[in-house]
Structure 1
Amino acid sequence: MTNINISRKLRIAIAGLGFGKKIHLEALKESDYLIPTTIYHYKKEKGPSLEKETGLNFYHDWGKLVKSKDIDGIIIATSPESRFKLAKEALENNKHLLLEKPVALTSEEIEELQRISLINNLSVCVDFEYRAVPLFLQTKKIIDENILGKIYLIKLDWLMGSRSDPKRAWNWYSLREKGGGVIGALGTHAFDMLNWFFGESIKVSGKISTSINERSLSNSSKILEVTSEDICIANLEITNYDSALIPCQVSLSSISKNGRGFSLEVYGSEGSLFLSSENQKDYVHGFNLKFSNKEDKTYNLPADPLYNFEKTWSDGRIAPVKRIHNLWAESINNQTPVIPGLSEGLTSQRVCEAIRRSSESGISIKI
């Protein structure tokens, strides 16, 4: 239950015409605490059509947008390369932020955003929306209540086919230096949920690779190199809140045609837990949770009704994003820290960077 002292809805701007317009804007339209007022894109010529389509004010000048007294907070859902610069300027002008992940390209950039937000007493939420999905919350409850006993092994596979077609056009996702790749797309979520469920990753070894090395520009015969990874295999040592070390294996892929989707397996002394979904386009529809006890009896587990959404959409991504919006609004209005925030974003980013270093060096990396 969200506990918000509200005198008026907070006025929100959106930067990003992909996930920002498709998901964040739709969630904002249903919010009791936030109201969308502004949409941003750096191309001025997009203004008339965007204003007509969304009914929002349009800005193409970021400097003017962040200085506007008619905006309380900004959702930044642009490509990763630009997020740090946009977020830094917004924080310097006292705007609360909700950031997509990866939050920035380096942990040093995230630390800089932390510093500015703390100085200016601003709320910065990170859209780790799996923390808001009912069956993920149910999984967290089971783990926290020690129903599995001592955890022996964690295995997380996330095998997607979004980029399995070699004819898919080259774009920013194809460049590692622009924040593209499966680690940024899936790994940031995966390492956040592992930290949330089980504890801190203290040592990693990993291997990343690029299976499809070239792609053509859209509507062009020009072929460009792909530098971002589409496969990541990692072994993690996780220390839980009892200081026990738990081995964890993670496999991430964006080129697994007809892949199994998301699968989390947790094996403990008192039972095993299986959270999975083959639905590759939705955060909610298609997930199921199973528990196997010491007698090897397996049960399907529904989510506690407390965790269910008041409303779901045909696109299930909107409901958990709306729930994250509520956490952000609560933080702003009550002047309290927000989780998930920059601290969680930084923890996830450090694991991502350690895996890259391990892949390059061939050795395990302590975090």
Structure 2
Amino acid sequence: MKKWGFGLIGCGSIADVHLEALSGIEHARIVAVASRTEQRARETSERHDCGWTTDYHEILANRDIDIVCITTGSGSHGHIGMEALQAGKHVLVEKPIAMSVNEASAMISIAEEKQLTLSVVSQTRFFPHHQLLKQTIEEGNIGKLLLVEVSRPFYRSQAYYDEADWRGTKAEDGGALLNQGIHSIDLLLWLAGKVKSVAGRTATQTHHMESEDIGLATLTMENGGFATLMCTTSALPGFPPSINVYGEKGTIKIVGQEITHWTVPGIPLPKYENDKLSGNAGADPRNLNSAYHSMQIIDFIESISQRRKPAVTGEAGRDAVRLVELIHRSSEQGGIPVPFE
């Protein structure tokens, strides 16, 4: 199998997770990294024995690079992603895929035109208990989904927002929904199916910032079922995310990395890996296990080689951003339902 050349744009903490994942993948080679800060780019390159630059356009022009990982701040994902695709690179972008549906759609269009692969990092889909939940739903073992409840009760201090100018802004961060909540939103859409309409409310309750620190939504699904969503960064001291799935035949509840309730007719709870390494990102965003990034990157590489869609498509990333936009639109209209379109 070909050894794929990778370039990273952005050398912050999430880039370290990507680089750790890549260093353990046999068919991946880290060619170069880019950061606006020379010291950070140089230090990162020394740790991973690769090239470095302070101008990401050099990454895009490098013929040894097949795949670009975009690990910059959220606000730049869209325009850097479009530039990378225009340069002929396959793109794996950190969440969210972009700050707007329009940006995401533009990226998808370029990828289709250039016959390139585009994906957004949604590594929580690869958690063993989430894979088990998805399989159980798809096999019809709990019947029609009646209600899916998703909650992400995180905590971030005011100091967290104050230490970087972009945090808490609408243009660069997106708030509790688009930044912290996007993984739960992706899981909800992945598990619950197509959405018919959304009623939402947002507010900024405990922080001095532009974006919301809490977002709530009730979704009416196309199958006639419902879903609820809560994402916040104001829940002291910070708690693991949770998913409750109620079907007409059974119920499954998840808190963090553990299945806490399993009622599936005729099927005992299978053994699964309870990952203790991921920590509690509810209180500390740096508690991440690179193993799941590695799984997604491997799937991404294989999707290119096999000329198939990746497990997480650009369209899925766009749908997650679309849901956030509609929650805000509904909230601005007093919480009235708006169609998912």
TM over 0.5: yes
Residue of structure 2 in register with 1:330 after alignment: 302
**Distance in 1 between residues matched to 2:42 and 2:246, nearest whole Å:** 55
Unpaired runs of at least 5, structure 2: 280-286
Q: Is the 8 A contact 1:26 1:318 kept in 2?
A: yes
Q: Judging changes above 3 Å, is the alpha-carbon distance between structure 1 residues 43 and 184 closer, same or farther for their aligned structure 2 residues?
A: same
Residue of structure 1 in register with 2:259 after alignment: 288
Letter in 1 for 2:62: S
- Cα distance, 1:37 vs. partner? 1.8
Residue of structure 2 in register with 1:281 after alignment: none
- Cα distance, 1:169 vs. partner? 4.4
Query: Is residue 2:108 matched to residue 1:114?
Result: yes
Query: 1:182-231 CA distances to partner (integer Å, 9 max, x unpaired)?
Result: 111233222221221121112001111112342xxxxxxxxxxx101110
Correspondence list, 1:123-142, <5 A = 123-142=117-136
- Cα distance, 1:166 vs. partner? 3.1
SS in 2 for 1:23: helix
Residue of structure 2 in register with 1:174 after alignment: 168
- Cα distance, 1:111 vs. partner? 0.8
Residue of structure 1 in register with 2:82 after alignment: 88
- Cα distance, 1:299 vs. partner? 6.4
**Distance in 1 between residues matched to 2:131 and 2:240, nearest whole Å:** 19
Residue of structure 1 in register with 2:292 after alignment: 320
**Distance in 1 between residues matched to 2:177 and 2:186, nearest whole Å:** 12
Residue of structure 2 in register with 1:152 after alignment: 146
Q: Judging changes above 3 Å, is the alpha-carbon distance between structure 1 residues 301 and 158 closer, same or farther for their aligned structure 2 residues?
A: farther
**Distance in 1 between residues matched to 2:41 and 2:145, nearest whole Å:** 53
SS in 2 for 1:176: coil
Residue of structure 2 in register with 1:42 after alignment: 36
Residue of structure 1 in register with 2:282 after alignment: none
Letter in 2 for 1:365: V
- Cα distance, 1:33 vs. partner? 1.9
After alignment, is 333-342 or 102-111 more displaced? 333-342
Q: Is the 8 A contact 2:134 2:191 kept in 1?
A: yes
Residue of structure 1 in register with 2:214 after alignment: 231
Residue of structure 2 in register with 1:275 after alignment: 254
- Cα distance, 1:105 vs. partner? 1.0
Residue of structure 1 in register with 2:226 after alignment: 247
Unpaired runs of at least 5, structure 1: 1-5, 215-225, 278-285
Correspondence list, 1:260-271, <5 A = 260-271=239-250
Q: Judging changes above 3 Å, is the alpha-carbon distance between structure 1 residues 196 and 37 closer, same or farther for their aligned structure 2 residues?
A: same
**Distance in 1 between residues matched to 2:41 and 2:154, nearest whole Å:** 35
**Distance in 1 between residues matched to 2:338 and 2:36, nearest whole Å:** 39
Residue of structure 1 in register with 2:235 after alignment: 256
**Distance in 2 between residues matched to 1:274 and 1:100, nearest whole Å:** 27
The percent identity for this pair of structures is 23
**Distance in 2 between residues matched to 1:366 and 1:113, nearest whole Å:** 24
**Distance in 1 between residues matched to 2:48 and 2:64, nearest whole Å:** 18
Q: Judging changes above 3 Å, is the alpha-carbon distance between structure 1 residues 259 and 48 closer, same or farther for their aligned structure 2 residues?
A: closer
**TM-score of the two chains, using structure 1 as the length reference:** 0.83
Query: Is residue 2:338 matched to residue 1:365?
Result: yes
Q: Judging changes above 3 Å, is the alpha-carbon distance between structure 1 residues 27 and 82 closer, same or farther for their aligned structure 2 residues?
A: same
- Cα distance, 1:339 vs. partner? 2.5
- Cα distance, 1:316 vs. partner? 5.5
Letter in 1 for 2:216: I
**Distance in 2 between residues matched to 1:313 and 1:360, nearest whole Å:** 36
Residue of structure 1 in register with 2:271 after alignment: 302
**Distance in 1 between residues matched to 2:95 and 2:215, nearest whole Å:** 17
Query: 1:60-82 CA distances to partner (integer Å, 9 max, x unpaired)?
Result: 11222201111111100111111
Match for 1:11 among 5, 8, 14?
Answer: 5
Correspondence list, 1:333-352, <5 A = 333-352=305-324
Residue of structure 1 in register with 2:283 after alignment: none
Q: How many residues align?
A: 329
Look at both structures and tell me which one has the larger radius of gyration over its CA atoms. Answer: 1
Residue of structure 1 in register with 2:69 after alignment: 75
**TM-score of the two chains, using structure 2 as the length reference:** 0.90
Q: Is the 8 A contact 1:154 1:248 kept in 2?
A: yes
Residue of structure 2 in register with 1:221 after alignment: none
- RMSD across aligned C-alpha pairs, in angstroms? 2.3
Q: Is the 8 A contact 2:153 2:239 kept in 1?
A: yes
